[in-house]
Every structure is written in structure tokens, then in C-alpha cells.
Chains A and B, each alone.
Chain A
Amino acid sequence: MNKEWPIWEIFIRSKNGLEHRHAGSLHAADAEMAIQNARDVYTRRQEGVSLWVVESKHITASNPEKNGELFEPAADKVYRHPTFYTLPDEIKHM
């Protein structure tokens, strides 16, 4: 029998108050082992206070070839940004 352990994506919260961020990936037989391995591989220097592990096959990624239709429509919508609106100089905090 020779079966490769599945790949897991590892997310780390570096401290409470911050979001989990993708750190990298690793192989493990199951979720428990993925947590153990993630601890050894990615948090040897107090990099985290919480870990998420997700088997890579469960992540659906957007297709880069569709980047145009997905993300370009936002490019010409400057009115969604505060700098689009002109105010008199006297107004300080707005």
C-alpha cells in the first residue's frame, strides 16, 4: 500500500484581534495530524495563537482567466472612494 497523505492549507491567527492568514500548506493523514504538523512547521517561534486547517481539495479558487470580468468592473468606480468627493479645506475630520 502506498498512498500519499492529502495536502492541507494552514491558516494562522498571530494574536487575538487579528484574522487568520494563510501561512502555507503541508501533508497530513487527517485534520488532527494537520494541526500537529502545522504547529511544528509554522509556529516554532510563537507565530500563532490559533490554527485552522482545511484540506486543499475543499478550496474553490477563482479562475485567473476570468480576472477581467470579475475584478475589472471595480476599476472605474472611483465614487466608492472618499477622495472622489471634494470638500472645503476648513472641514477637517470627514
Chain B
Amino acid sequence: MDNKTRDLEVEFQARIDSGENIEAKDWMPEKYRKTHIRQISQHAHSEVIGMLPEGNWITRAPSLRRKVALLAKVQDEAGHGLYLYSAAETLGISRDQLMEQLNSGKAKYSSIFNYPTVTWADIGAVGWLVDGAAIINQVMLTKTSYGPYARAMVRICKEESFHQRQGYEIMLTLCNGTEVQKAMAQDALNRWWWPSMMMFGPRDEDSPNTEQSMKWKIKKKTNDELRQQFVDQTVPQAEILGLTVPDPDLKWNEKTGHYDFGELDWEEFWNVVKGNGLCNKKRLADRNKAWDEGAWVREAATVHAEKKANRRLNKAV
């Protein structure tokens, strides 16, 4: 590294330390740029792929009320993907490159969306747990150091809170329903609890990037801290539903003021990350199908816009 770059890096870190935001045209270390492109695009891909397991239930929602809510939620997730792709593009990557990385399987997205939504209760569990876990992460990210990312997060967080509430309300309705309905809610919790816990990523000691991310204020809390926050906040909500969290080691710890909980199945975690989850292949296939089948629309819109522009030009002459 030459002297000038070193000086710039010192100055950059000082700006971060003093709580300043970094904006798109500011000087930044190459690694800061690359880390952000990767993280923001993974986040964007997660919003987009996240529409698939829920979209699966829109046509089968049990009432019109549930249907408009789910439709609005899924539409929000599309918007979240767009806000985040725009934030990533400020760092010098194009939308087409981002799409290519997703569609080719090169890019990662949150593993949670590689689990199937097999019953209507899963839509309740996803809103409650998956959006709940996402909100914890996203609230932290509203304070992240990169301006465009932080602003996207503020917008997203405003929209997220209804997502979790609509999910919880579905669970509540099922839990106040028949025995079969309540069993369905319990079954959904059983299947979604651990994958939701995994959303916060590997344990701190297995997360080599955490230190740098904290130094650059990309993250303000570690994976384990966020996971603990999720447990502490969610367990009482499960109690109100009258459901049992599927963790025999879960218990309140008077001394720490937090819940203790059991070890996650890290083998499953890495297995899904590596592409061997139940739905990894289907999600990518669906995504590619939508992209390919939309190609003619994108092309037609371009040609139509050119034609209109030419017509205006001819009139002007």
C-alpha cells in the first residue's frame, strides 16, 4: 500500500469513528466497497427470493383479508429488493451484473428461503419469525456507515412492522381455533424456529469478518448478540400463543437476564449455505424462469421508448 492510500485509509477510519456516514462518491477502501457490494446485493437477493415461498400461498389464502395482506407484503418485499439493488448500484455494479450473479447461482441469499412453506400456518410463522429476525438485523443496519444502505434500511424498517404483525395475527387466529389448527401452528413453529435462529449467521468465533465489519460500522452488533435479542423477544410471544419453542435447553437465566438456549445444528446450516437445502434448486429455477420469460417485456419496453422518443423528435423538426 502506498503512503497516499494509507493516509486516506486513516482519514476514512477517523470519519467512521466520528460517526460520519460515507456517501457514494466519497473515497473508500476497495475492501469497504467490495464488502458492501456483496452484503447489500445478498440482502437484495434475499428480498427477491423471499417472495417465492410466500407467493406460493397468495392464491390459497383462506380469506380476502388474508389475501390482500399477503399480497401487499410480497409486493413490499419486491420494493425492498429494488431499494437495495439501487443502493448496491451506487457502488459501481450494474443491475444486469447483479441479476446475473443471482440467476447463475454465484451470489448467496438468506438460506431461510430454501425451506418450503407447506401449510398456511407457515405463512404465519414466516411473518412472525422470519420477518421478526430480519427486522432485528435491519433495525441495526439503519445505523450502518454507508449512507445509501442506511437510508434504504430506514425505508424498509418502516414497512416491515406490518409484515411481522400480520404473521403473528395468523398464528394467533390458528392458536385460538380448533385443535387441528393449533397443531398446525405448533408444527410450523417446530419447523421454522431453528432456521430462523440460523438467519443471524455463524457463531461469533466462526465469523471472521465480524471484527472488520464492526470497525467499519457496517454492523453494530455481533451475530450472537442479535440472536440472543431474537430469543429474548420471541419466547414471550410464543407463550402468549400457547405454543412450545422446540428447544429443550431453553430456559430463563435469572443471572444474565436472558434466555439460555440450545446449540444450533451447524451441519445443517452449512449444508443449506452450500446449496443442499430442500428448495435451493427450485428457488433458482423459478427465479431464472421469471427472468427469461420477462426478457421480451424488457426488450419491448426499450423499443417502445425509443419509438416514442423518435416520434417526438420528428414532430419537433
* Contact across chains for A26 and B25 when beta carbons are under 8 A apart: no
Known: A44-B76, A44-B79. A4 touches B308 (CB 8 A): no
B95 is contacted by which of A24, A27, A33, A65 (Cβ under 8 Å)? A27
Does B197 sit within 8 A of A, measured CB to CB?
A: no
* Contact across chains for A4 and B23 when beta carbons are under 8 A apart: no
Residues of chain B within 8 A of A3, CB atoms compared = 302
Does B27 sit within 8 A of A, measured CB to CB?
A: yes
* Contact across chains for A24 and B301 when beta carbons are under 8 A apart: no
* Contact across chains for A61 and B25 when beta carbons are under 8 A apart: yes
Does A29 sit within 8 A of B, measured CB to CB?
A: yes
Residues of chain B within 8 A of A26, CB atoms compared = 82, 86
Chain B residues within 8 Å of chain A by Cβ, number: 27
A29 is contacted by which of B72, B89, B304 (Cβ under 8 Å)? B304
Does B152 sit within 8 A of A, measured CB to CB?
A: yes
Does B309 sit within 8 A of A, measured CB to CB?
A: yes
Does B94 sit within 8 A of A, measured CB to CB?
A: yes
Nearest Cβ distance between residue B97 and chain A, in whole angstroms?
A: 9
Secondary structure at the B interface, as helix, strand, loop or mixed, is helix
Does B282 sit within 8 A of A, measured CB to CB?
A: no
Residues of chain B within 8 A of A2, CB atoms compared = 96, 299
* Contact across chains for B86 and A24 when beta carbons are under 8 A apart: yes
* Contact across chains for A29 and B155 when beta carbons are under 8 A apart: no
Interface residues of B in 130-164 (CB under 8 A from A): 151-152, 155, 159
* Contact across chains for A24 and B152 when beta carbons are under 8 A apart: yes
B25 is contacted by which of A4, A41, A63 (Cβ under 8 Å)? A63
* Contact across chains for B94 and A4 when beta carbons are under 8 A apart: yes
B86 is contacted by which of A25, A29, A45 (Cβ under 8 Å)? A25
Known: A44-B79, A61-B25, A64-B23. A33 touches B86 (CB 8 A): no
Q: A-side interface residues toward B, CB under 8 Å? A: 1-5, 7, 24-27, 29-30, 32-33, 40-41, 44-45, 61, 63-65
| 5 A-B interface contacts by CB (under 8 A) | A3-B302, A24-B151, A33-B305, A40-B79, A44-B79
Apart from A4-B96, A5-B298, A41-B79: 10 A-B pairs, beta carbons within 8 A:
A1-B299, A1-B302, A2-B96, A5-B301, A25-B89, A30-B305, A44-B72, A63-B25, A64-B23, A64-B26
